[in-house]
Amino acid sequence: MYLGTYRSLLGGIVITASISTVQASGLTITSITPIQTLDTTELRVAFNNLPSQPTAYQLEKPARLILDFPKTQSVSGLKDIAIANSKLVKQFNVVADTDKTRLTIDLKSEAKFSAKSDGNNYVLKISPAVTPASVGKLPIQAVAAVEKPQALQVAKPTQGVSKIDFQRSSKGDGQVLIGLLDSNTPVDVQQKNGKIIVRLVGAKIPLDLVRRLNVNDFATLVSGINSFNDGSNGVIEIQNNGSFDYMAYQTENKLIINVSPKISQQSTSINESKYTGKKVSLDFQDIEVRRVLQLLADFSGVNIIAADSVQGNITLRLKDVPYDQALDVILNAKNLAKKQTGNVVWISPITEMIKYDEDQAKRYMQSATLVPLVTEYIQLNYAKASEIFKLLKNSEKNNASQTDKNELKTQEQVEKNSAAKESENQFLISSRGSVVADERTNTIIINETPQKIEQIQKLIKKLDSAVKQVMVEARIVRASTDFSRSMGIKWGYSGRSSENGGGTLYGSTINNVVGLRNNGTTTDNNLNVDLGSTLAGSSSIAFGLLNTANSILNLELSALQSDGLGEVLSTPKVMTGDKQEAVIRSGAKVPYTTSSANNGTTTTFQDAVLELKVTPSITPDGSIQMKLNITKDTLGILTEAGYAIDTNMLQTNVLVGDGETVVLGGLYENTTSNGTNKVPVLGDIPVVGNLFKNKTRTEAKRELLIFITPRIVNDTF
């Protein structure tokens, strides 16, 4: 529920009447009679004597009218009375206490009011709101039956503006400072079309202050301030850049308009979220501080207790601010301080609050020296007694070294001093107490006051808990693709004059073909071109052409194409406790030899392993922070000293959700080579040049991917 404006009708001063009021002993509201006319609703509040005059407050959102009758009681049966057939009033409610009776009227929409006293009756007339052309609201005025309603409140000649200034706050907000000649100057602040309009009702701005100010150099959302007069009213127009929130508040004769960036719910910072109460608007002229505190208590539902020394009046104008921030503004303006315990807020002058804190500290120190000590044995289940002992001993040292500090008399320092004194009470081991750890039985032995022992037991209960377990699974995928192709040719020509005959010979190689020609005897080095495929396992085909001139032409074609696919999947798993390192290794020790003049030849070993080293840390939101070191070694080429070790290693720190899989990293290699061997000049001849060359093409692809999946192991017992 958003509260629009608390407005103290007639400036927060108790409504007066032209007739005398008799405060008779036992003044009581006997009945309330609603009377409905065509456009208005009239409530006749009947008393057993002449009525007292109420203090009235109007709320805009929700639409509501509140009247407080002092020193008045009420008969029962006047709670939550609905008014049928009324266009303006929903219901009314009467609540009485020892000091006053409050009449609350819930409205269906905004309305205007007039009031008068008629004998033992107090007559309240509710009619539709004034037209939009009117400025402000007609105040409730208790008048005699013959008295006419008062006109709209306007500024007195002594009211107006004395200064218009601008400054940048420490938080970077823009602040427009408006000095008023009188704290009762009527001011209306509205937001319209991206601008903040400050209207001085019935008071013109002096000519020396009518101007246009450019404040872009201050680097705030406020870009300019334009002051001018509109008829009999002064207007101050605040121009802004971008989306903004603003707060208007008045203390005495100074009106401050604070403009800050509009804050979304997703990006609210710690400082900006300090005030979380429902928004309220307050507009009071010279009202009692205790009355404002009571209104804030009624609105917020917080129990506020004000010390008897909280006195004085305040002029205040706040628009759309959290109620807890409005409370702080009032406290700072009147040099007051607060102390909150649960749903109860105690308010007093700062000096009294500091004295109270000092007295509380003295009483605590005195009682702590008188309470007898008791001994408690606390056996631990999961935590180590030595670690808990160190924690308690460090607290004891801090307590011994705590020194008193000077206290500044401000609300902020009161809160800090109060927190400091409370923290002194929270030291686990006092100067009288002692603590001993028995590691054999994993027990803590404490000799302290019952209050301290209770605090220590609560702490140990939180710390002595089972460590959560985390299962970490890694997947290391190594894939390879190989392709090679080689094509070549061998040919030669030879002849003998003693042989007759002709024909064609076939074989798998030239040597075989020549052997056929030589009656089974093979010969070597009879090639004119030797550019066959050099890859092992190449296939070949040979031809031999003989003629009658005892000559032979030998031809061998060879070719090879190979494809290879490979994949290696390694899946190491390890389970460990929260914030505890775990290591898993699997592999072999590869021997290699070394030689030296003194020791001769020796054999040493080098690790070729798959290793997973991880330290998981569970975050409060259930995610897992991991410090990882993953190593994947494989055997490489064979050298004279032994095998080379191909190493792949990844070291990182990563945050992963429970059960989620993330790719930590990858390595991709692509090697392509093309080779051509040929006879110079002849190998460059088109088409025919293929008889004088061979070609080789090789492609190799290597890919390494590393995946990690952590899972929190839930207890099953």
Q: Which residues pair with 284 in a beta bridge?
A: 316
Residue 451 in domain: no
Q: Contact at 8 Å (CB) between 316 and 251?
A: yes
Phi, psi of 217 (to 5 degrees): -65, -15
Span 337-389, pLDDT tens digits: 999 888 899 999 999 998 888 888 888 777 777 788 899 999 999 888 888 88
Name the residue among 66, 46, 52 with its Cα closest to residue 15.
52
Q: Side chain identity at 406, as an amino acid letter? A: N
Determine the pLDDT at residue 236: 95
Residues 195 and 298 reside in one and the same domain: no
CA separation for the pair 329, 277 (Å, rounded):
14
Same domain, 525 and 606: no
535 in Cβ contact with 696 (< 8 Å) = yes
* Dihedral, CA of residue 631, residue 632, residue 635 and residue 639, to nearest 10: -40
**Is residue 209 in a domain?**
yes
Domain boundary among 560, 576, 610: 560
What is the bridge-based pairing of β-strands 73-74 and 28-36? Answer: parallel
Question: Is the distance from CB of 408 to CB of 420 less than 8 angstroms?
Answer: no
Backbone angles phi, psi at 185, to 5 degrees: -60, 125
Q: What is the pLDDT of residue 538?
A: 58
Is 530 a residue whose pLDDT tops 50? Answer: yes
Question: Is 476 part of any domain?
Answer: no
Average pLDDT, the chain: 76
Write the CATH number for 289: 3.55.50.30
**Among 153, 139, 131, 141, CA closest to 201:** 153
Q: What is the pLDDT of residue 682?
A: 75
The pLDDT tens digits of the residues spanning 146-182 come to 333 333 344 445 678 999 999 998 888 899 999 988 8
Asked, for residue 602, whether it belongs to a domain, the answer is yes
650/676 same-domain check: yes
Q: What are the CA-CA distances from residue 304 to residues 124, 300, 327 (Å)? A: 31, 10, 11
Looking at residue 336, its pLDDT comes to 92
pLDDT at 495: 56
For residue 144, the cross-strand partners are none
What pLDDT does 399 receive?
54
105: domain CATH number? Answer: 2.60.40.3500
**Of 7-11, 170-174, 265-269, highest mean pLDDT:** 170-174
| Whole-number pLDDT of residue 534 | 63
In whole angstroms, what is the distance from residue 69 CA to residue 112 CA?
A: 20
Maximum pairwise Cα distance, the chain: 162
- What proportion of the chain, given as a percentage, has pLDDT over 90? 11
287: in domain: yes
Last residue of a domain, one of 367, 387, 411: 367
Domain assignment of residue 116, given as a range: 28-128
Which among 24-28, 189-193, 345-349 has the top mean pLDDT?
345-349
Residue 385 belongs to some domain of the structure? no
Whether residue 375 lies inside any domain: the answer is no
Same domain for 197 and 104, yes or no, is no
Q: How far is 710 from 38, CA to CA, in rounded Å?
A: 74
What number is the average pLDDT over the span 417-444? 72
Q: Are residue 174 and residue 123 in the same domain, yes or no?
A: no
CA 297 to chain centre: 31
pLDDT at position 554 is 64
pLDDT band with cut points at 50, 70 and 90 for residue 606? confident
Name the residue among 76, 67, 63, 161 with its Cα closest to residue 117.
Answer: 67
Burial 486-519 (b: 16+ CB within 10 A, else e): bbbbbbbebeeeeeeeeeebebebbbbbbbbbee
Looking only at the bridges linking them, the beta strands covering 303-306 and 344-349 are parallel
Residues 548 and 626 in one domain: no
For 195-236, the pLDDT digits (tens) are: 999 988 888 899 889 999 999 888 899 999 999 999 888 999
Is residue 235 situated within a structural domain? Answer: yes
At which residue do the structure tokens 């105040």 appear?
139
Q: Describe the crossing of helices 323-333 and 289-300 by its angle, rounded to 10 degrees.
A: 160
Same domain, 114 and 170: no
% of residues, the chain, pLDDT over 70: 75
Residue 73's H or E segment, with its range, is strand 73-74
Q: Does one domain contain both 625 and 658? A: yes
Residues 594 and 569 in one domain: yes
Phi and psi at 453, nearest 5°, equal -60, -40
- On whether both 695 and 590 belong to a single domain, the answer is yes
How far apart are alpha carbons 72 and 24 in whole angstroms? 9
Q: Output the CA torsion 399→405→410→413 (10° steps).
A: -30
What is residue 444's three-state secondary structure?
A: strand
Residues 99 and 51 in one domain: yes
Same domain, 208 and 252: yes
Number of domains in the chain: 5
Domain end (from 560, 582, 609):
560
Residue 461 identity (one-letter amino acid)? K
Q: Are 88 and 3 in contact (CB under 8 A)?
A: no
User: Where residue 192 sits, what CATH number does that domain have?
Assistant: 2.60.40.3470
